[in-house]
């Protein structure tokens, strides 16, 4: 490692340390006035009473603040429930909003400086580490020592990172009040973009995008000389930065709903839920356009593009989940399980999830058109459960938190209903395939090892068979790491795409007779 | 030599016959799998002392370099064998009684067979160099060799690799992946000059030097020196130069691993002698893969073929003979491939290292010096003999057809676009190559136009 890389790594780790330390800094003091501004009118009175012990108190961390708040609110709610006063229970989640307004002191007063010292300096440190990589080395496969690395082979470092990421996702989804200080950091950015304060989701989006950009640069270094990888990486970086990060904020400025124009149902599972539809249709003709656009993506873009280019057009060129997996997740791609059993589990998970979300969506729509006569409000419960189990726990916590444990495509492979839908199209009606180069395979296993989707590529390649699999996201890594040039991602005529050649090119003894 | 009749009643499908295969490499395993496909009743046993399960020998280097673990190199999952009733015996065969049809094993009970298939593989050559038995001196063939190499290089400051061929360059790459500097001794005037023409060899050598390989051409090993404790401390070349080192990789070729059957009724030469059906002189005993030597070689081929692909073809062919009807070994046009650090090499047909009239050659090299293409052909009728590609991927089926159908070099060059197997978005070179050919041979060839396809197909060209 060059000195400058060590420096970069050091800077990154210090920035990360400070970033984590921030959670324990600053003060929190909730005033009555703030309370009044932040909660619904009908709750002001109750909360003022219930939170009386807190008001004006100064807390030294968001943890003690949030703990007190939650305790007081829970006490109140439990009491109401015990006395069956259901309509008096407060379901709204005010913890994050109140912690935000209550914050003061060091973090609140130094947002810009701290933003710089943590996120910006951290990204710069990472780049210092990444940019000199492979400098002066010829282009080629850069997998030396992967299996000896503690980070990349489920060693102590890998497990630690996995636990850390998992913890962050748990906080983000279910305890955002504890990470209020992080959200404060990106306030300046949020005000610049959309004029409003940063939510935990804006914080998440910022870090997510930055992770794709910085680790995308790493891909550029690692796969230099490989145009397919370079273009593909540039594409996911572009779509994340523009479609997923900037454009939605601009839409908000234009008084339109926050909308990621490349997110497609059923990955975007709540697209047809009442509240989404209402917010789109309530935003005039531009909102209507967004709604129609979303529907066209599902029924036209997916089948059409998948027919011509395979699943890859979305999963490894456009999608945000794919974007993170292909950049930040690249060091962990070989950790996917290649066994036949894993393939079985995959099919028993991903297709049922597609069925479930389709049913939920259809019920929702039917309910909507029968003016809620069909199921009343009970679809809300389905939405909540799906959102909790699949949208948050699976896609987020397991999907990213488990990168260093189960590989970078756990969600895409086992959970993503959109991947399931596109996969079916790819398997049965597409021009895409991975062509095997005759008899050249030496069964070495590099392709299978580095397939993030856990496809046993070698199984097909060593038999001279093309690889046509629903799950293949067309990342092209199998073709890159193959030492014998056996694999080629291609779009071509459907005829002859799925082959089952019993004997390989090169042996005339048998072909003649068969 | 005269080709004797096919010996043995190998196409008779006695139900429940006991087929025993010694060797679980590519040839033995391919044979077993294909027998099982067509004969569900046979008792098939595969014996190997090296590893319990079949692994890819060609991937040994990647285990050392940390690209894969041993488990990744196994082409079939462990349940595969039981499911296909391929009985595995992890043991060494110590002797064979051909009379009694019985095998003695080192640890386990003796085994009897009706049909015996010898797929014993190779072992590294050694040339009686003084000091070749020292600790830290080794070849690379087996899984045990790999483990030994791991131990031997644990505290290595400097290494020497002897032998300018494929395993030599692999060992060099392996050592460099662990930041161990390597002096690479090559007897000839260029790397792999016994196979590669000069330009290809030069190109590869430039690349090796870019990877900081200390290439010593025209250099032969004379002796290996001891450090006083039984470990290697240096090598001395025939020119008298002493190179200090703590590891010596000997990669001077392999030979059939036939110690097991030497001095028995089985007729051997360098390898186990077989006819075109892989039958030995003893009925119902066959030999395939690296250890087999043809009494009469297939035209244009060596009498011993020591590559993965031929091992696989041997296995397929013999299995067909044993289950369906006897067929002669009839490989199609030769093909092979390798990788020299980052440069992939593919070859189809026959490209000699040197040639003379009427054989002619067309060679093109890209300006960046890491991509090259050669076509060797008959200078009179332009019929293609073979091609070499470096830094390029070439389509096997295309050249297989071109060679079988005796295309001319010009027919191939105008269609080269179709032969391309490089990843999408790679730079294309077929026009430049054709132009180079036109200039060199005074022709005026144009690339063949592909039939027009739908508009959208142009997006990914
Ligand atoms: C490092 C390396 C890299 C290579 N790379 C390539 C390449 O890129 N391309 C290519 O085409 N070829 C390559 N080769 C050559 C190729 O691997 C061999 O040609 C091929 O593996 C031979 O297969 P086989 O089935 O004949 O024998 P083997 O794979 O050698 O199998 C023979 C087995 O029989 C076992 N055996 C032998 N005697 C006994 C006994 N008495 N009792 C029990 N078991 C016994 C051995 O232990 C061994 O496991 C490479 C070889 C090496 C060593
Ligand atoms: S098969 Fe190849 S292209 Fe498809 S997902 Fe696996 S590594 Fe990527
Ligand atoms: S990486 Fe290439 S040679 Fe190795 S098993 Fe896969 S297709 Fe075959």
Q: Check B460 against A491: CB less than 8 A apart.
A: yes
Nearest CB among A340, A448, A508 relative to B330 is that of: A508
Query: What kind and span of H or E run contains A303?
Result: helix A302-309
pLDDT for B461: 42
pLDDT digits (tens, 9 = 90+) for A363-406: 999 988 888 777 777 888 899 999 999 999 999 999 999 999 99
Shared domain for A83 and A156, answered yes or no, is no
pLDDT for A514: 42
Nearest residue of chain B to residue A483 (CA atoms): B339
Q: Does residue A272 fall inside a structural domain?
A: yes
> How far does residue B26's CA lie from ligand 1's centre (Å)?
7
Q: Does residue A141 fall inside a structural domain?
A: no
Q: Report residue A4: phi and psi, to 5°.
A: -65, -30
- Whether the CB-CB separation of A416 and A311 falls below 8 Å is answered with no
A344, A372, A405 - which closes a domain: A405
The domain tally of chain A equals: 2
pLDDT for B259: 97
Q: Whose CA is nearest to atom 3 of ligand 3?
A: A441
Q: Check B327 against A143: CB less than 8 A apart.
A: no
Range of the domain at A63: 27-103
Q: In sequence order, which residues have a C-beta less than 8 Å from that of residue A462 and are 6 or more positions away?
A: A441, A443, B75
Shared domain for A251 and A340, answered yes or no, is yes
Q: Check A443 against B328: CB less than 8 A apart.
A: no
Domains observed in chain B: 18-123+255-323 (3.50.50.60), 137-252 (3.50.50.60), 335-441 (3.30.390.30)
Q: In sequence order, which residues have a C-beta less than 8 Å from that of residue A423 and are 6 or more positions away?
A: A311, A350, A470, A471
Shared domain for A206 and A319, answered yes or no, is yes
User: A489 contacts in B (CB within 8 Å)?
Assistant: 423-424
pLDDT, average across residues A247-275: 93
Nearest CB among B67, B308, B456 relative to A147 is that of: B67
Query: Where does the pLDDT of residue A502 fall: very low under 50, low under 70, confident under 90, or very high at 90 and above?
Result: low
Shared domain for A64 and A197, answered yes or no, is no
The alpha-carbon gap from B229 to the nearest alpha carbon of chain A, in Å, equals 31
Tracing tokens 């290595």 back to the chain, one arrives at B156
Shared domain for A47 and A168, answered yes or no, is no
Shared domain for A167 and A229, answered yes or no, is yes
Supply B240's token pair: 């008298």
Buried b (16+ CB within 10 A) or exposed e, B205-223: bebbeebebbbbbebebbe
Q: Whose CA is nearest to atom 5 of ligand 2?
A: A472
pLDDT for A375: 75
pLDDT digits (tens, 9 = 90+) for A321-357: 999 999 999 999 999 999 999 999 999 999 999 999 9
Q: Does residue A121 fall inside a structural domain?
A: no
Q: Does residue A429 fall inside a structural domain?
A: no
Return the ligand number nearest the Cα of B90: 1
**In whole angstroms, how far apart are CA A172 and each of A177, A199, A200, B212?**
9, 11, 7, 49
Q: How far apart are the first and last CA of chain B?
A: 53
Distance CA A484, CA A183 (A): 49
Nearest residue of chain A to residue B56 (CA atoms): A444
Look at residues A421, A396, A423, A392 and name the one whose alpha carbon lies nearest to residue A410.
A396
User: In the beta sheet, which residues pair with residue B93?
Assistant: B105
pLDDT for A485: 96
Computed over its alpha carbons, how large is the radius of gyration of chain B?
A: 24
Q: Is A508 on the interface with B (CB under 8 A)?
A: yes
Ramachandran area for residue B382 (φ above 0: left; ψ -120 to 50: alpha; else beta): left
Tracing tokens 């299978």 back to the chain, one arrives at A448
Distance CA A252, CA A256 (A): 5
> How far does residue B129's CA lie from ligand 1's centre (Å)?
24
Look at chain B and count its residues: 461
pLDDT for B10: 59
The alpha-carbon gap from A327 to the nearest alpha carbon of chain B, in Å, equals 19
A383, A405, A427 - which closes a domain: A405
Q: Check B421 against A140: CB less than 8 A apart.
A: no
DSSP string, A66-110: HHHHHHHHHHHHHHHHHTT-GGG---S--HHHHHHHHEESHHHHT
Look at residues B185, B113, B182, B191 and name the one whose alpha carbon lies nearest to residue B153.
B182
Q: Whose CA is nearest to atom 8 of ligand 2?
A: A475
Nearest CB among A138, A445, A510 relative to B342 is that of: A138
pLDDT digits (tens, 9 = 90+) for B107-150: 999 999 999 999 999 999 989 999 999 999 999 999 999 999 99
Q: Does residue A46 fall inside a structural domain?
A: yes
Distance CA A442, CA B216 (A): 30
- Which residue among A442, A476, A480, A483 is best mutated to probe the pocket of ligand 3, counting the most ligand atoms within 8 A of its Cβ? A442
Query: What kind and span of H or E run contains A430?
Result: none
Look at chain A and count its residues: 514
- Whether the CB-CB separation of A43 and A159 falls below 8 Å is answered with no
Q: What value, to the nearest 5°, has the Cα angle with vertex B357 and ends B356 and B361?
A: 70
Distance CA A262, CA A315 (A): 11
DSSP string, B155-217: T-S-EEEE-SSHHHHHHHHHHHHTT--EEEE-SSSSTTTTTS-HHHHHHHHHHHHHTT-EEET
pLDDT for B147: 98
> How far does residue A428's CA lie from ligand 2's centre (Å)?
17
Q: Check B66 against A146: CB less than 8 A apart.
A: yes
Shared domain for A49 and A187, answered yes or no, is no
For residue A474 and ligand 2, the question of a CB distance below 6 A is answered with yes
Shared domain for A75 and A174, answered yes or no, is no
Q: Does residue A48 fall inside a structural domain?
A: yes
List all residues whose CB is within 6 A of at least one atom of ligand 3: A 441-447, 457-458, 461-462, 482, 484, 486-487
Q: Does residue A511 fall inside a structural domain?
A: no
Q: Check A446 against B312: CB less than 8 A apart.
A: no
For residue A472 and ligand 2, the question of a CB distance below 6 A is answered with yes
A405, A429, A460 - which closes a domain: A405
Query: Where does the pLDDT of residue A85 fall: very low under 50, low under 70, confident under 90, or very high at 90 and above?
Result: confident
pLDDT for A379: 84
Shared domain for A55 and A161, answered yes or no, is no
B20 SS3 class? strand
pTM of the model: 0.95
The alpha-carbon gap from A484 to the nearest alpha carbon of chain B, in Å, equals 6
For residue B312 and ligand 1, the question of a CB distance below 6 A is answered with no
User: B426 contacts in A (CB within 8 Å)?
Assistant: 227-228
How much is the mean pLDDT over chain B? 94
pLDDT for B164: 86
Q: In sequence order, which residues have a C-beta less than 8 Å from that of residue B342 and are 6 or more positions away?
A: A138, A139, A140, A141, B207, B370
pLDDT, average across residues A26-44: 91
This complex has an ipTM of 0.95
Look at residues B256, B226, B252, B272 and name the one whose alpha carbon lies nearest to residue B139.
B252
Shared domain for A198 and A91, answered yes or no, is no
> How far does residue A445's CA lie from ligand 3's centre (Å)?
5
Q: In sequence order, which residues have a C-beta less than 8 Å from that of residue B204 and are 6 or more positions away?
A: B169, B191, B192, B196, B340, B343, B345, B390
> How many beta carbons lie within 10 A of that of residue B453, not counting itself?
11
pLDDT for A28: 93
Q: Check A147 against B396: CB less than 8 A apart.
A: no
B385 SS3 class? strand
Nearest CB among B317, B344, B427 relative to A485 is that of: B344
Q: Is A391 on the interface with B (CB under 8 A)?
A: no
Q: Does residue A414 fall inside a structural domain?
A: no
The alpha-carbon gap from B52 to the nearest alpha carbon of chain A, in Å, equals 17
Half-sphere exposure of residue A214: CA atoms within 13 angstroms, side-chain side: 21
Shared domain for A273 and A338, answered yes or no, is yes
User: A488 contacts in B (CB within 8 Å)?
Assistant: 393, 421-424
Intervals of chain B under pLDDT 70: 1-13, 451-461
Shared domain for A211 and A97, answered yes or no, is no
């Amino acid at each position: 490692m060059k000195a400058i890389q060590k420096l970069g790594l050091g800077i990154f780790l210090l920035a990360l340390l400070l970033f984590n330390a921030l959670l324990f800094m600053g003060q929190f003091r909730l005033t009555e006035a703030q309370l009044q501004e932040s909660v619904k009118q009908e709750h002001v009175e109750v909360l003022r009473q219930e939170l009386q012990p807190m008001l004006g108190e100064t807390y030294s961390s968001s943890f003690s603040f949030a703990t007190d708040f939650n305790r007081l609110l829970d006490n109140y709610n439990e009491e109401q429930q015990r006395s069956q006063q259901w309509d008096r229970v407060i379901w709204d989640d005010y913890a994050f909003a109140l912690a935000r307004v209550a914050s003061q002191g060091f973090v609140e007063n130094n947002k810009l400086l701290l933003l710089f010292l943590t996120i910006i300096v951290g990204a710069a440190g990472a780049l210092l580490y990444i940019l000199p990589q492979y400098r002066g080395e010829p282009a080629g496969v850069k997998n030396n020592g992967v299996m000896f690395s503690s980070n990349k082979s489920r060693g102590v470092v890998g497990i630690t990172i996995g636990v850390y990421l998992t913890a962050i996702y748990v906080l983000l989804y279910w305890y955002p009040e504890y990470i209020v200080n992080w959200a404060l950091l990106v306030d300046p950015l949020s005000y610049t973009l959309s004029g409003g304060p940063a939510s935990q989701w804006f914080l998440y989006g910022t870090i997510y995008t930055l992770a794709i950009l910085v680790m995308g640069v790493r891909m550029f270094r690692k796969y230099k000389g490989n145009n397919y990888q370079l273009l593909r990486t540039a594409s996911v970086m572009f779509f994340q930065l523009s479609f997923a990060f900037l454009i939605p904020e601009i839409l908000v400025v234009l008084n339109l709903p926050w909308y990621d124009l490349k997110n497609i149902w059923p990955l975007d599972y709540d697209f047809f839920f009442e509240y989404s539809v209402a917010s789109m249709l309530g935003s005039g003709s531009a909102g209507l356009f967004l709604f129609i656009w979303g529907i066209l993506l599902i029924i036209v873009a997916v089948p059409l593009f998948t027919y011509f280019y395979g699943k890859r057009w979305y999963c490894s060129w456009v999608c945000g989940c794919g974007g993170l997996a292909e950049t930040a997740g690249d060091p962990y791609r070989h950790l996917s399980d290649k066994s036949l059993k894993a393939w079985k589990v995959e099919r028993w998970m991903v297709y049922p999830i597609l069925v479930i979300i389709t049913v939920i969506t259809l019920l929702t729509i039917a309910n909507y058109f029968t003016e809620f006569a069909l199921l009343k409000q009970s679809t809300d419960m389905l939405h909540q459960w799906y959102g909790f189990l699949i949208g948050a726990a699976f896609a987020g916590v397991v999907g990213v938190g488990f990168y260093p444990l189960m590989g970078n495509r756990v969600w895409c492979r086992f959970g993503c209903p959109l991947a399931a839908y596109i996969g079916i199209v790819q398997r049965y009606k597409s021009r895409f395939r991975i062509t095997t180069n005759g008899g050249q395979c030496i069964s070495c296993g590099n392709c299978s090892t580095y397939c993030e989707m856990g496809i046993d590529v070698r199984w097909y390649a060593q038999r001279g068979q093309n690889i046509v699999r629903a799950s293949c996201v067309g990342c092209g890594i199998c073709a890159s790491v193959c030492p014998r040039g056996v694999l080629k991602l291609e779009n071509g005529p459907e005829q002859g795409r799925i082959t089952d050649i019993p004997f390989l090119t090169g042996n005339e003894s048998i072909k003649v007779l068969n | 030599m005269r080709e004797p009749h096919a010996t043995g009643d190998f196409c008779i499908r006695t139900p429940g016959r006991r087929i025993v295969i010694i060797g679980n490499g590519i040839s033995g395993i391919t044979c077993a799998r294909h027998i099982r496909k067509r004969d569900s009743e046979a008792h098939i046993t595969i014996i190997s002392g090296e590893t319990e399960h079949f692994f890819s020998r060609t991937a040994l280097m990647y285990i050392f370099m940390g690209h894969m673990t041993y488990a990744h190199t196994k082409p079939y999952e462990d349940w595969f064998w039981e499911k296909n009733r391929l009985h595995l015996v992890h043991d060494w065969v110590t002797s064979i009684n051909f009379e009694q049809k019985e095998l003695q094993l080192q640890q386990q009970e003796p085994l009897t067979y009706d049909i015996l298939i010898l797929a014993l593989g190779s072992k590294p050559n050694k040339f009686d160099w003084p000091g070749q038995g020292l600790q830290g001196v080794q070849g690379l063939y087996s899984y045990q060799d790999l483990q030994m190499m791991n131990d031997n290089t644990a505290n290595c400051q400097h290494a020497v690799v002897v032998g300018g061929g494929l395993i030599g360059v692999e060992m060099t790459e392996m050592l460099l992946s662990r930041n161990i500097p390597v002096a690479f001794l090559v007897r000839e005037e260029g790397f792999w000059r016994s196979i590669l023409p000069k330009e290809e060899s030069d190109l590869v050598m430039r690349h090796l030097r870019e990877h900081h390989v200390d290439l010593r051409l025209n250099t032969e090993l004379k002796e290996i020196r001891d450090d006083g404790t039984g470990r290697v401390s240096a090598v001395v070349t025939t020119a008298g130069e002493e190179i200090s080192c703590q590891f010596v990789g000997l990669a001077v070729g392999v030979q059939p691993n036939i110690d097991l059957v030497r001095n028995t009724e089985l007729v051997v030469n360098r390898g186990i002698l077989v006819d075109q059906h892989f039958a030995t002189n003893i009925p119902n005993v066959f030999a395939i893969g690296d250890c087999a030597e043809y009494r009469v070689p297939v035209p244009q081929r060596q009498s011993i073929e020591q590559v993965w692909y031929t091992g696989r073809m041997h296995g397929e062919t013999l299995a067909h003979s044993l289950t369906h009807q006897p067929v002669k070994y009839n490989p199609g046009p030769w093909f092979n491939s390798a990788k020299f650090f980052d440069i992939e090499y593919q070859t189809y047909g026959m490209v000699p290292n040197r040639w003379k009239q009427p054989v002619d050659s067309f060679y093109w090299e890209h300006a960046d010096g890491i991509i090259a293409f050669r076509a060797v052909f008959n200078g009179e009728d332009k019929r293609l003999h073979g091609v070499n590609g470096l830094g390029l991927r070439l389509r096997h089926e295309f050249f297989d057809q071109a060679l079988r159908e005796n295309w001319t070099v010009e027919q191939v060059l105008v269609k080269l676009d179709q032969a391309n197997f490089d990843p999408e978005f790679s730079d294309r070179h077929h026009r430049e190559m054709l132009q180079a050919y036109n200039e060199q041979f005074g022709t005026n060839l144009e690339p063949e136009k592909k039939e027009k396809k739908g508009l959208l197909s142009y997006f990914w060209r």
